[in-house]
Amino acid sequence: MRRSHQIKGTLHFVAGLVVSIALVIQSTSSAKAQQPTRPELEAKLEKQYAAIQDIFFNSPGKLTEPRDFRERLRIWQENLAQSFAEAGKTIDEILKLYPPDREKWRERSDTMWLYSQPVSPPSSRMVFGAGEVQQKARLLEPPAAEYPEAARAAKARVKCGSDWCWLRTAR
C-alpha cells in the first residue's frame, strides 16, 4: 500500500512536470506568434515620425523652461536623439521581417541611427554655429557671376529699395 502511494505521488509529480513543460513551450510559441506584423510596425513608425516632427516644431526657442537656453538646447537635442533611436529600433524590427524593399529600410535605419548620436564636441567638428565662432566667415575669392545668354539678351534692370524690388525688361 505504501509503495502504491509512492508511485502515485511520483506519477503526480511527473504529470505536473510534463504539464509545466508543455505550458512553457506553448507560451514560448505563442510569444513568437504575437510578434508585430510589418503594417503594425509601419504604423508605429509613423507615430514616431510624428513625434520627431513635434519635437522639431517645439524647438528650444519656443520653450521657456529651463531658463538657461544652453540647457534647454541640450535637453531638446537629447529628446530628439532618443526619438531618432526609437525610430531606428522600429526600422530594425521591420528589417528582421525581410521586407522586399530592404535597401530602402536599411538606408532609413542608418539615417535614424546617425541622427540618434549625441552632439559632438566642437573639437571634433568642422561646421560651427554662429554662436560658436568669434569671427564670421567671409569669401576671400567669390566666384564670378555667370549669366545665361537669354538673361543677357533681356537687358533687365532691377531697382531695389530697403523693402522692395522692381524689375523692368527692355521691350
> The pTM is what?
0.53
Domain of 50, in residue numbers? 36-119
Q: Do 30 and 46 fall within a single domain? A: no
Q: Do 101 and 62 fall within a single domain? A: yes
Q: Do 27 and 46 fall within a single domain? A: no
- Cell 502515485, residue? 8
Looking at residue 8, its pLDDT comes to 57
Report d(CA 89, CA 48) in Å as an integer: 11
Task: Write out the DSSP string of 3-16.
Answer: HHHHHHHHHHHHHH
Q: What is the mean pLDDT of the chain?
A: 77
Give 28-50 pLDDT, tens digit per residue. 555 555 788 888 999 999 999 99
Residues 6+ positions from 99 with CB-CB distance below 8 Å? 38, 105
Q: Do 112 and 58 fall within a single domain? A: yes
pLDDT at position 171 over 90: no
Helices (H), 116-162: 149-154
Crossing angle of helices 69-96 and 102-115, rounded to 10°? 160
Report d(CA 10, CA 17) in Å as an integer: 10
Q: Do 46 and 24 fall within a single domain? A: no
Q: Per-residue confidence at 53, pLDDT binned at 50, 70, 90?
A: very high
Pick the range with the lowest mean pLDDT from 12-26, 29-43, 106-120, 150-164.
12-26
CA 91 to the chain's CA centroid: 10
Is 126 a member of any domain?
no
Measured from the Cβ of residue 122, the count of other Cβ atoms closer than 10 Å reads 10
**Count of domains forming the chain:** 2
